Amino acid sequence: MKKPKLSFWQIWNLSFGFLGVQIGYSLQNSNTSSIFESLGADVSHLSYFWLAAPVAGMIIQPLVGLFSDGTWTRLGRRVPYILGGAVVSTVALALMPNSPTLLTFAPLVVGALILLFMDLSFNVTMQPFRALVADMLDDSQKTQGYVVQTFLINLGAVVGAVLPLLMTLCGVSDEAPAGQVPDHIAYSYYIGGAILLLTVLVTACRAREYPPEEFARYNAIAEPAAERPGFAALLRNVPPAMLRLGVTQFFSWAALFLMWTYLKPAITGVVTDHATGELLSTGATQTWVGVLNGIYPVPACIAALFLGRVAARWGNRPVYVVTLLCGAAGFAGLWMLRDQYALMVPMIGIGIAWAGILAMPYAILSLAVEPRHMGVYMGIFNFTVVIPQIVIGLTGGAIVTLCFAGDARSMLLLAAVFMLLAALSAVWTAKSPAAKSEAQ
């Protein structure tokens, strides 16, 4: 029995809360290092604070998925976790810029605890959105559902990135005494927290999850819920499609992490001013890296508007492969080009790949996983996002030193190779007969 088709705005409301979550993530990504520096953290120790996000994701997302798979309340199956996580996330966003005053003799410790608190709550809020789309949508609409999520994710990234600038333009001070967080950052966190809570409330009020009997009927589930296997058994029986997608995920996320880590040192002393042809200063290069990082979510938003239609015609995997090839070309362009404005062009290809990476694997996976275990497997699938980043984080220094004699620019070429391998592995996945979504 097929699930009823949902309208565009019903699909939009299923993921609307993701917009607020991503604004929170964007604020965190853009400002965490500067906040901890203001609290007295040594620059050489900043990377340790960044481990909070992937570690929290690895622990929390599978657990939330497992628990939400077996949760049935008046609010639904996933919504209670989304709503509870959003409330805690809002509190964490309000506390973060105030960490210097919460414990004056150890503000860095307080900041670290709040950061961990924030990452845990973000993951609790975010994880059920992936499963909610799969729960509520018919197979023919799942790709559209994840494409809408991709659009909202990138829109949230842009909004979160520009909020501090908007605060400054509105006259909020961007200066602060030593050991304090500037007002323009603090107000951005407050506004971001309010948006997060409001957008999640829209999803909580508008999303009407199927009750257990109806869900079982739509998904042909005959066994009672009490016979659900444990986490260890589910981990041992990971669907083959997830393992194959994991190969593609490893190379694509490794490529992205290389860019996030090495773009600034890669173009410092190399990129030239478009007007004069002279090398940009270190400060100007840092500013331009911020511009480049702010560009790729824009083409990702635009690409997301078309991915669903193209995938409906050509299939999920061919579209996935093409987006990854665009990313490989983009990374190669970053490695080759030197003019500051010319470097903006490759970010278009990377943005298209980013859109594909955020949408296509989840659309493919949702068609290959048993509906009753959707939550836990979506959580386990997060391993394929986190592990490549940890691996590159631990080995990147040795690679750039031993393989490239300290030339950070070569890491962009390595990123291009990784993204090409991701595209090739996606072709291999497409030929596998075991994937349930093969006909899609």
pLDDT digits over 250-306, tens only? 999 999 989 988 888 888 888 888 778 788 777 677 668 778 888 899 999 999 999
- Please state, as a whole number, how many other Cβ atoms lie within 10 Å of the Cβ of residue 83: 20
Residues 252 and 224 in one domain: no
Exposure of 307 by Cβ count < 10 A (0-12 exposed, 13-18 middle, 19+ buried)? buried
DSSP letters for 121-179: HHHHHHHHHHHHHHHHS-HHHHHHHHHHHHHHHHHHHHHHHHHHHHHHHTT------TT
Alpha-carbon distance of 319 to 360, in angstroms, equals: 8
Alpha-carbon distance of 339 to 354, in angstroms, equals: 23
Residues 175 and 273 in one domain: no
What total of structural domains would you count in the chain? Answer: 2
Residues 21 and 133 in one domain: yes
Residues 307 and 291 in one domain: yes
Residues 131 and 220 in one domain: yes
| Boundaries of domain holding 50 | 1-228
Contact 337, 410 (CB under 8 A): no
Classify residue 438 by its DSSP letter: G
Q: What is the reported pTM?
A: 0.81
Question: Is residue 377 a part of any domain in this protein?
Answer: yes
User: What letter represents residue 362's amino acid?
Assistant: Y
Tokens encoding 323: 């987006």
Alpha-carbon distance of 122 to 61, in angstroms, equals: 10
Question: Is residue 437 a part of any domain in this protein?
Answer: no
> Across all residues in the chain, what is the average pLDDT?
86
Residues 158 and 297 in one domain: no
Average pLDDT over residues 59-70: 89
- Torsion over CA: 139, 352, 156, 245 (sign): positive
Alpha-carbon distance of 265 to 365, in angstroms, equals: 36
Residues 110 and 162 in one domain: yes
Residues 268 and 416 in one domain: yes
Among candidate residues 193, 228, 263, the one where a domain is terminated: 228
Residues 222 and 239 in one domain: no
Q: What is the pLDDT of residues 353-397, one digit of tens each?
A: 999 999 999 999 998 888 888 999 999 999 999 999 888 888 888
* pLDDT number for residue 433: 41
Among candidate residues 228, 248, 279, the one where a domain is terminated: 228
Q: What is the pLDDT of residues 176-191, one digit of tens each?
A: 787 788 888 899 999 9
Question: Is residue 439 a part of any domain in this protein?
Answer: no
In degrees, to the nearest 5, what angle opens at C-alpha 35 toward C-alphas 34 and 38? 85
Q: What is the pLDDT of residues 190-248, one digit of tens each?
A: 999 999 999 999 999 998 888 888 888 887 766 555 566 788 888 888 888 899 999 99
Residues 177 and 290 in one domain: no
Residue 161 clears pLDDT 90, i.e. is over it? no
Q: Which residue has the higher pLDDT, 118 or 226?
A: 118
Residues 384 and 400 in one domain: yes
Domain of residue 308, CATH code: 1.20.1250.20
Question: Is residue 55 a part of any domain in this protein?
Answer: yes
Tokens encoding 244: 């194959």
Residues 239 and 222 in one domain: no
Among candidate residues 228, 246, 270, the one where a domain is terminated: 228
By residue count, the chain amounts to 440
Alpha-carbon distances of 152 from 22, 158, 174, 301, rounded to whole Å: 8, 10, 28, 8
In degrees, to the nearest 5, what angle opens at C-alpha 269 toward C-alphas 267 and 271? 50
Question: Is residue 22 a part of any domain in this protein?
Answer: yes
Report the SS3 class of residue 172: coil
* pLDDT number for residue 222: 63
